[in-house]
Amino acid sequence: MSIVSKIFGAVALTAAAVVPVNAQQLTVWHDLGDNGIKWFEAMGAEYAKTRPGITVRSLSFPTDQWFGRVIGALNTDTAPDLIFNNYERVIRIETQTGKVEDLAPVLAGIADKAFLGEDDLRVAGFRGKTIILPIQRVQMGFGVRKSWLDKVGEKFPNTWEDAERVAEAFRDRDPDGNGKADTFGFALEAAKPRDLIHMLDLFVFGSGLRHTLIDPQGAIVVDEPAHAKVLEEFLKTYSTYRFVAPDTINHSFAEMYQVIEGGRAGMFRVGDWNVKKWDGANVLAGDFLVGPWPKFAADRDNAVVIAGMRGVAVPSNAPNKALAIDFAKFMLSKAAQQASLDNVGAAVRKDLDVSALSPRAQYFARAEGRLVAYDFPESIHEFYPELEAAYHRRLLAGIANPPADWKPFIAETAKEMRDLAAKLAKK
Amino acid sequence: MSAALGEIWRNRIFYLFALPFAVLTILFGVWPIVLSIEVSFTASATALKPSPTWVGWANYATVLADPLFVASLGRTLVYTVLSVVANVGVALGLAVLFDSTLLKRGNLFFRLAVFLPVVTPDVAGYVVWRWLYDRSFGAFNAALAGLGLPAFTGLSSPDTATLSLLLAELWHHTGFYMIIFLANLAIRDRALEEAAVIDGADAWQRWRWVILPQIRPALIINTVYALIQFLKTFTVVVVMTKGGPNDATNFVSYYAWQLFDQGRYGEATAMATVLFGLVVVLSLGVFVFGDREAAR
């Protein structure tokens, strides 16, 4: 036997001894793009420290493709080990496939979970199953351009009256100093189904109310006095107040971001995931303040909105189900959560190191604002998406042709929604 | 039977060459359509399973009972008629102008200018049109303001959104129809026009009775093609309006896509099948009608 053969033989024997026989790869499908891929790489490296031989491979798809691929894969028994997305999207996967594993026993077995609040746990449930482990809380605050505030001599608006006054100043007093009347008070969006409701959610929950359209008992709330006041101001913001760009009715998220990042609007939604980009030199360069949504009533506290929850789910036909469940549990550990905060800008734990973040990012990371959660009606009323689509169309019709008096419009809308909800509930 | 087989055998070289393309057409053209129609008879939740639940005509019943779909279908038909008339009419007018002696200088330049949008990527073109219509910084309203005229509401009003899309699509497509007309005009028999002149026909009579019958093939082809194109209008809606405002531009293709995006595969493919049937019937109808008129 030659010396070369002996060396190769020794190397092969050593490798066989070192590499565990149970080398496995977990596959995760998500829609978080490059930041998400980096996050899963970081978590995979951390996980491998205690589970040698286990690798984690994440694939990111555009959201619409993610739906098609996940539904197709679960229905044809070619599922990945884990799926990661917003809770309402996982609900749709469960509705379409019925193949999302019930994680209730897994969640019950996790000792270190005190950081998960009641709302966090509520969104994890659907049809009696725990379909996700909550991993990233999605917070949305109210942002205002600081230099514009300084220019018009205003402070961060606390009440809706403040916000109206600031919006008028931003529209009429050339806050960017370019000598043109090309700025607006607010950047909002309305184009796609649900977009308008996403904006309304911010006004409603940010003002401390608990439901946008329907309560858990099935009662329509839009014409309740406190709610009707917020709704009327919301609709006027899109129309008669002229606080938004005239084309806002066709603006989706992409156009709304163009308005914000292009310096055409002074007040806007800030998601925790926006801060990293907007702190960048070529975007807003950190020229914005973050706080809670404006206060609509003296007796009700305003808030930062928890507009969603991203979570991890395990398909019941996952190829490595036991290992996938173990990794899902690991995603709530401090190391994995720190990687989440560092790479994606969101987490659910509150004991993470936030010192490296900007003051705006820290506002979210420390959960400094009073938090009010989206009411997650789709997890209670199965007919909610259809009801919401009709509500969206009704509000858009009003914005497209604004009535002289919004009060009868709101009363009529409430009646229509009650009739529709009753009809849908009977289906 | 044996005669047919004999015919095939005599033309075996032709069929041999045609076979790969026939296979590709069946595989990537016909088969997906068949699968799509199949999905329209299944429950959405099981549509992608190996053994889907068959629901018969239920998806079609749901779709046809949906007032939004019925409104969308009506809207699509109106938009199609207006677009076909506008595109074919403008293309014909431009083709006649460029073929005439009226526009000698710069003829090639203007032909290229009209045709260039056809080869421009449609998404890029429609993004620019969207900006042109923008009420905050768009060129249209800047020009109108400069002339002291009232603002054009463009894409932001249900009253003008359809017209705005129609103009953008006219810019994008009319050059293609114009080229077909120009090709047909170039191969017409000019001796017939000279004979008509000798017979004392005026310009209108020569156009109506001598030239128009000769370009009927282009007219039929363009009308059928435009009909198919505008019944399926999708990209311009995605880029410029997303079906809005207030559903004013929510055409059938876009509405079906929205349902598809929500995982309502059965209803979405039922809509697509209804649209497919409509495209086939109307296209064949126009083609047969045009052919019969030509045979008279």
Q: Is residue B90, in this structure, part of any structural domain at all?
A: yes
Put simply, whether B155 touches A (Cβ < 8 Å) is: yes
Q: How confident is the model at residue B294 (pLDDT cuts 50, 70, 90)?
A: low
Q: Is residue B111, in this structure, part of any structural domain at all?
A: yes
Q: Is residue B89, in this structure, part of any structural domain at all?
A: yes
Q: Is residue B138, in this structure, part of any structural domain at all?
A: yes
Percent of chain B scoring above 70 in pLDDT: 99
Phi and psi (nearest 5°) for B194?
-65, -40
C-beta contacts of B163-166 below 8 A and 24+ residues apart: B164/B129, B164/B133, B164/B240, B165/B79, B165/B233, B165/B236, B165/B237, B165/B240, B165/B241, B165/B249, B166/B79, B166/B82, B166/B83, B166/B86
Q: How confident is the model at residue B123 (pLDDT cuts 50, 70, 90)?
A: very high
Q: Is residue B110, in this structure, part of any structural domain at all?
A: yes
Residue A3: predicted pLDDT: 54
Q: What is the pLDDT of residues A40-85, one digit of tens each?
A: 999 999 999 999 989 999 999 887 778 878 988 888 888 999 999 9
Q: Is residue B173, in this structure, part of any structural domain at all?
A: yes
Dihedral sign, Cα of residue B71, residue B74, residue B77, residue B78: negative
The complex scores an ipTM of 0.76
Can you give the CATH number for the domain in which B150 is found? 1.10.3720.10
pLDDT higher at B128 or A378: B128
Residues from chain A contacting residue B45 (CB–CB below 8 Å): 95-98
CB contact under 8 A, A249 and B156: yes
Residues from chain A contacting residue B62 (CB–CB below 8 Å): none
The number of domains in chain B is: 1
Residue A321: predicted pLDDT: 95
Whole-model pTM above 0.90?
no
Pick from A377, A401, A379, A373: which is nearest to A388 by CA?
A377
Helix (H), strand (E) at residue A268 = strand A265-271
Name the average pLDDT for chain A. 89
Rounded CA separation B291/B119 (Å): 30
Closest alpha carbon within chain A to B49 = A75
CB contact under 8 A, A400 and B49: no
Q: How confident is the model at residue A286 (pLDDT cuts 50, 70, 90)?
A: very high
Whether the predicted pLDDT of A409 surpasses 80: yes
Q: How confident is the model at residue B146 (pLDDT cuts 50, 70, 90)?
A: very high
Residues from chain B contacting residue A400 (CB–CB below 8 Å): 157-158, 245-246, 248
Q: Is residue B142, in this structure, part of any structural domain at all?
A: yes
Q: What is the pLDDT of residues B196-216, one digit of tens each?
A: 999 999 989 999 999 999 999
CB contact under 8 A, A247 and B136: yes
Residue B88: predicted pLDDT: 97
Percent of chain B scoring above 90 in pLDDT: 78
Domain range for B283 is: 58-295
Residue A142: predicted pLDDT: 95
Name the average pLDDT for chain B. 92
Pick from A381, A386, A376, A211: which is nearest to A309 by CA?
A376
Residue from A31, A96, A424 whose CB has the most chain B CBs within 10 Å, to mutate = A96
